[in-house]
Amino acid sequence: MVFADALDINRIKLESYEPLSGCQTYTNYLTKLAVYGSDAEILAALLIDLPVWGNNCGKISYIMQENYGFTRKSCKFLDNFAIPLAEDVISKSKELIMSSINDSPLNVKKIRIATRMIIDYELTFWDTIYKHSIIKQ
């Protein structure tokens, strides 16, 4: 609730919020990967996307603090995503992905699709936020 409080969003407003479909595609795709995808597809998608997501969250946090008076505490949610992945996580993930690729050439295609789709869905998320923000003004 710290972030919601900083945005002056009360519980009633939170409970009455209706999701934007373009913002749900990203998490829905991740759920699909978690249920039906291989470990290599999931890891590759996250290795590609989490740095992008984290960079965007870091930029938003910085702008909110610099230009709108938000505090580090109120932006902690965003800042937590802005922390780079640990090198051992990246290294072990790459090993598993390479092992999967060596097992079957078909896995290369599946991994490529998973990474392309997650980036596309992230773009849909940010485009939806933008479109929604300019409509409300």
User: pLDDT digit of tens for each residue in the chain (137 aa)?
Assistant: 788 888 888 889 888 989 999 999 999 999 999 999 999 999 999 999 999 999 999 999 999 999 999 999 999 999 999 999 999 999 999 999 999 999 888 899 999 999 999 999 999 999 999 999 887 65
CA dihedral 66, 68, 74, 79 (to 10 degrees): -40
Query: Exposure of 28 by Cβ count < 10 A (0-12 exposed, 13-18 middle, 19+ buried)?
Result: exposed
Q: Which pTM does this prediction carry?
A: 0.83
Nearest to 85 by CA among 42, 131, 52, 123: 52
User: What pLDDT shows up at residue 44?
Assistant: 96
Q: Where are the domains of the chain?
A: 2-7+23-136
> Rounded to an integer, what distance in angstroms lies between the CA atom of residue 87 and that of residue 59?
22
